[in-house]
Chain A
């Protein structure tokens, strides 16, 4: 190991190392990031939720977008699976149905980056359980 010679070097090193714990850092404070929750109960998994979740992770990392992607239980919209709930910091969550791998980029381009709504929105009639 080469010794760290200056504070600037230490800072540079920290920048590079941040990625290592980035996932933990963001999830400790999900409210300050874009949160994507993919419903992953039996119905969701059967209709491809796992692939959708992976597509989100890949896309975010490719485009360098700070976001937390997690799974949740069944949201109760089995007819519209896979369903995805997206929460942007300071905004109410919006749930999208019939999300497939192809729709992932569209959701990112339109809703996440430009705040434009995309078809397949499920009117929300529940309080997010995570609000407690």
Chain B
């Protein structure tokens, strides 16, 4: 039998990879081989599908059947049923949590309905380790087009007209940055890809590099042509081994095909790329610190100006862009600036990739048009809050961002609206919190992160953030005073105004935005010594209800610090001095006799 009838796409992203997707792929190949189906079925390793919550994912083409949580033991059944008998394996299909219905076609899953995939266009679609699949999907056509048909100026004009803004956090217009770098005269210039991705919980850039590394390489070459650079550097954290490996394979293949190197496509244009490894410091994502780290110096920021576009790596003009920013470039060149500018809002064009995490049903990676509302993201794509809890807030922009609350649910998401709401786009982390999350504790969590990641070069950030952290610690322990709240606010403002780099300038944002949105919760901690979410252990008391306690002694026997006393068949008592609030007693009690005050 001649023609391939099925493509089986097996996710090879980090998430699915960790749950054996590699072995699943091998097993499928063996099974197919054993049955002599090589000419009918092709197995393809792809990048991330985004729906990591339900991984490992196996998608069947042409019918778009989306199998979730596939295990090694399921492979045989999928092959027997789906391929040989032509029937779907219902139990592995995605189940709509609301209707309980099985949805087989990924197009009909709420998770995918509102997504538009530009930066992630090839993730979960092509084999990232095979340049030919990328070429088949218009790969390197954009580079070819600019090299042969467009001048650097005309290309920059397209980028400017598209309205693309930097996806690494700042949102600086990409075309303008290229123009500035081009304008600086120098014998040598550099193009840098920022793949540091230090925002906790974020994995947008990793997924692009794992799922579609060539799109970044192609865009860097286009950037080099526009700015006049012949050398590209990808700065990537060493904790991303899979992304590094795929990038290396891509670079090797691109060189073999003559798409990187000397005289690309016979146009006389030279461009090649090298990898530089970071050790995973958050501050090294800041472009000046990143450049110093690449130079072999300490990863510390320096004052801007001069901007890297003027004086960057080794003092030469250096154009720094983010991974996701680059991934948009070839599409813009191929489809045109107008096509791109039609998507999104007035001042934020195109799409944004977000990593949805926290108390949400569908954890994963999504790409949505700018201007979508938080409500659509959380309740439609994200499938709502876990365990039907109440939505409380969502942190965007990671440790540099702020919290958005119920009042922001219908605000269209774009760069400017998020800033107006007291947060920021950041690189795309979205951490959803529910009623059981304490906002003071959340602010403390982010502050702890910045205190650890501050490079220590300037005192407002090094010392100020530490003091902020200590004050938050004091409040969560029940020792805060109303004056502390004023001090928090003032110090935050000082740190913002006087820190040297973006890290310090934005680090108080979680404190300020939680103060603004949840002032009453701070007041409860301070005045009533109460944490309504039940998160701040020092403010909690485990109490035994004398009416329900029958004196079974189970709690006393389970308390790790012997804080519970009481005779058999007598009401027991918890010594609050000794109690460490571990909750073991409440968990064990069969009579509902222990409660939290």
Q: Which residues of A contact B (CB under 8 A)?
A: 1, 3-7, 9-11, 13-14, 17-18, 20-21, 23-28, 30, 38, 40-41, 44-45, 49-50, 53-54, 57-58, 61, 68-71, 73, 130, 132
Tell whether, in the assembled complex, residue B62 and residue A14 are in contact, meaning their CB atoms are under 8 Å apart. Answer: no
What is the size, in residues, of chain B's interface with A at 8 Å between Cβ atoms?
Answer: 39
Complex contacts, B62 vs chain A, CB 8 Å: 23-24, 26-27, 30, 68-70
13 contacts between A and B (CB under 8 A): A1-B257, A14-B141, A17-B135, A21-B133, A23-B62, A24-B7, A26-B62, A27-B64, A30-B64, A45-B87, A53-B86, A69-B62, A73-B88
Whole-angstrom CA separation of A75 from B144 in the bound complex: 48
- Could you list which residues of chain B lie within 8 angstroms of chain A, going by C-beta atoms? 1-7, 9, 61-64, 85-88, 105, 108, 125-126, 132-133, 135-141, 144-145, 147-148, 256-259, 265-266
Q: Say yes or no: A18 contacts B265, CB within 8 Å.
A: no
Q: Given A5-B266, A7-B147, A26-B62, verify A17-B132 contact (CB < 8 Å).
A: yes
| B257 near A21: Cβ-Cβ < 8 Å | no
B2 with A21: CB separation less than 8 A: no
- In the docked arrangement, what's the CA distance between A27 and B257, Å? 29
> A132: nearest residue on chain B (CB-CB)?
B108
Chain B residue contacts of A18, Cβ below 8 A = 136
A57's partner among B3, B9, B132, B145 (CB-CB below 8 A) is B3
B86 touches A21 (CB 8 A): no
Task: List 8 additional contacts besides A23-B7, A41-B87, A45-B87; criterion CB under 8 Å.
Answer: A1-B257, A3-B256, A3-B257, A7-B148, A10-B265, A44-B86, A57-B5, A132-B108
B266 near A6: Cβ-Cβ < 8 Å: yes
Docked complex Cα distance between A7 and B148 (Å): 8
Assess whether B86 is in contact with A24, with CB atoms less than 8 Å apart. Answer: no
A7-B144, A17-B132, A21-B126 known; A27 and B61 CB under 8 Å? Answer: yes
Query: Nearest CB to that of A41 among chain B residues?
Result: B87
Give the nearest-CB partner of A56 in chain B.
Answer: B5
Q: Find the residue from B62, B63, B136, B138 having the highest chain A CB count within 10 A.
A: B62
Q: Using Cβ atoms and an 8 Å threshold, which residues of chain A touch B132?
A: 17, 20
Bound complex: CA A43 to CA B426 (Å)? 55
* CB of B311 to closest CB in A, whole Å: 35
Nearest CB to that of B6 among chain A residues?
A: A23
Closest residue on chain B to residue A68 by CB atoms: B62
Q: How far is the CA of A28 from the CA of B353 in the complex (A)?
A: 20
A24 contacts B141, C-beta separation under 8 Å: no
For B140, list chain A residues within 8 Å (CB).
10
Chain A positions within 8 Å of B144 at CB level: 7, 10-11
Contacts of B256 in A (CB 8 A): 1, 3
Cα distance, A20 to B3, chains bound together (Å): 11
Tell me, in angstroms, the Cα distance from A10 to B258 when the chains sit together: 10
- Which chain B residue lies CB-closest to A50? B86
Asked whether A5 lies within 8 Å of B258 as measured between CB atoms, the reply is yes
Q: Taking A7-B147, A27-B63 as contacts, is the C-beta distance between A40 and B266 under 8 angstroms?
A: no
* B5 nearest in chain A by CB position: A57
Whole-angstrom distance between the Cβ of B128 and the nearest chain A Cβ:
13
Residue pair A49, B4 in contact (C-beta under 8 Å): no
Contact A130:B108 (CB < 8 A) given known A7-B147, A13-B135: yes
A14 close to B257 (CB less than 8 A): no
Q: Are A71 and B266 in contact (CB under 8 A)?
A: no
Whether A4 pairs with B265 at a CB distance below 8 angstroms is yes
Q: State whether A7 and B3 are in contact (beta carbons under 8 Å apart), knowing that A21-B126, A27-B63 are contacts in the complex.
A: no
Question: Which of B136, B137, B138 is most buried by chain A, counting CB atoms within 10 A of its CB?
Answer: B136
- CA A25 to CA B138, docked complex, whole Å: 12
- Bound CA span A65–B542, Å: 72
Q: Which of B9, B105, B135 has the most CB of A within 10 A?
A: B135
Whole-angstrom CA separation of A45 from B3 in the bound complex: 20
Tell me how far the C-beta of A11 lies from the nearest C-beta in chain B, rounded to whole angstroms: 7
